[in-house]
Amino acid sequence: MLFNSYTFVFAFLPITLLVFAVLVARAPRRLALGWLIAASVFFYGWERPENLVVLGILLVLNFWAGVYLGHHGGEWRGRVVLVLGLAGNLGVLGYYKYANFFVDTLNATTGASLPAANVILPLGISFFIFQKIAYLVDAYHGKTRGYNFVDYCLFVTFFPQLIAGPIVHHSEVVPQFTNRKNYRLNSEDLSVGVTQFVLGLFKKVVIADRMALYATPIFEAARTGATPTILDGWIAALAYTFQLYFDFSGYSDMALGLGRMFGIKLPLNFNSPYKAVNIVDFWRRWHMTLSRFLRDYLYIPLGGGRKGTLRRHVNLIVVMLLGGLWHGAGWTFVFWGGLHGVYLVINHAWTAWRGAHRTAAQPSTRLGLWTGRSITFFAVVVAWVFFRSADFGTAGRMLEAMFGERGFSAISSYDAGTAFAWLAALLAVVWLMPNTQEILAAYRPALDYERPDDGKPGRGFTRWVQWRPTSPWAIAISLIAIFTITQMSRISEFIYWQF
């Protein structure tokens, strides 16, 4: 079931909220949590009920493995269970997500003709398997306490974050499930949550889906062998850059808003990444919970930066290659990850050089800030070409178009002036405008978000658009919601749902 569908907005969400409100007021806590689990399971199995089999088996096995590790972590028996648990989770992920990738690669490199596996990828499998891996590792190290099965089930299945994140840590949400006052419905949580949800829905439906109309035809033309003009190439690359941004930003806002409606604060997962002044800063802002997982459960165990500069650079490349593979079963995703790994190595080398020459590691002037931001944005746009392209041939033709006129117009069904007006406006938005959490800063819109400037209100335009539970804001959000709903005639999935 899609967040941006009439079924979700007008049926599933209000029914789930209404029943939950009654239960938290009159029934035992576990019954209210049980209702949320049942609603989440229904949400996940709406289109493909068979997905519930994989989710259910993994949920039960990982819960009992976690209980065992909680009692025997550090012992040889605990190490065996941990290895088996990690291997089992990764094996399931490998089969569903990478079986055909492996077969295609083997056929291409050896000339074999192995048949493709008949595999349907369960929604969100990469997200909830990483969530379970983190849980098992933490249980082994004694960082979890004895969660009961109901709390664990809700931790895994809670529908706002089940399919596309954030990758929630058990210590972030389970205590909220166990504390009744944290999930009882109240007017502030509802108004903040609805505002976040509506703003996210607007980003997805009105902006991201519109950008797809510019990006998709040109990338598809390049896939079929056409080489677009330089104009088409940059329109497509920038349109996809903003499509992905507002698609993922919209989903992240909607997930936070849905959680908040039920009194649960989820961790921040998206924080204006195109405002980043370097590529390290970008990965602190883009898919923040994935970056945290890769750092804590892969980069640091590999040695991080503790074993010298060369080892750190190798670790960065390895982590980003695997991060790219996590995003998709294709060599273009792997290359995209490796390219970002090279970016990070260059970034760290530059920072070290500047530090050695006793200059600021971060931009200290407005010119330096905008220079860093522009270079980072350019590097990210180039990398997105590989992320979006179906194969290297498509990516090559797109890059040829962007950096060398070929004289072929891939499509003629758009107004270039309108396209560039949209792109310029969106660039101004992502660089200059406050984001959703800054607008809602006074009401802690995410679990780990604190109001900037030590609690002081924002300055200038940011202060002017600070959200408050007032009639003008209620009218504004209502109008945005009505307009957005009228644009929902063409329902499209979120890009990150395929991962």
Contact 235, 418 (CB under 8 A): no
Helices 471-486 and 187-202: crossing angle in degrees, nearest 10, is 40
Active site residue 327: yes
Helices (H) and strands (E) in the chain, counts: 23, 0
The closest of 494, 215, 499 to 330, measured between CA atoms, is 499
Distance between CA 302 and CA 101 in Å, rounded? 26
Q: What are phi and psi for residue 312, nearest 5 degrees? A: -60, -45
Q: What are phi and psi for residue 270, nearest 5 degrees? A: -155, 120
- The residues that bridge with 286 in the sheet, in sequence order, are 270
Q: What are phi and psi for residue 286, nearest 5 degrees? A: -100, 125
Among 327, 340, 348, 357, the active-site one is: 327
Distance between CA 436 and CA 443 in Å, rounded? 11
Q: Is 454 left (phi over 0), alpha (psi -120 to 50) or beta?
A: left
The closest of 267, 268, 263, 264 to 187, measured between CA atoms, is 263
Contact 334, 324 (CB under 8 A): yes
Structure tokens at 119: 């595999």
The closest of 305, 301, 333, 329 to 320, measured between CA atoms, is 333
Distance between CA 440 and CA 382 in Å, rounded? 32
> What is the rounded radius of gyration, in angstroms, for the C-alpha atoms of the chain?
23
Contact 261, 189 (CB under 8 A): yes
Distance between CA 211 and CA 426 in Å, rounded? 10
Q: CA end-to-end span of the chain, whole Å?
A: 16
Distance between CA 221 and CA 124 in Å, rounded? 29
Distance between CA 225 and CA 189 in Å, rounded? 51
DSSP string, 79-133: HHHHHHHHHHHHHHHHHHHHHHHHHHHHHHHH---PPPP---PPTTHHHHHHHHH
Buried b (16+ CB within 10 A) or exposed e, 451-471: beeeeeebeeebeeebbeeee
Contact 304, 312 (CB under 8 A): yes
Residues assigned a catalytic role: 327
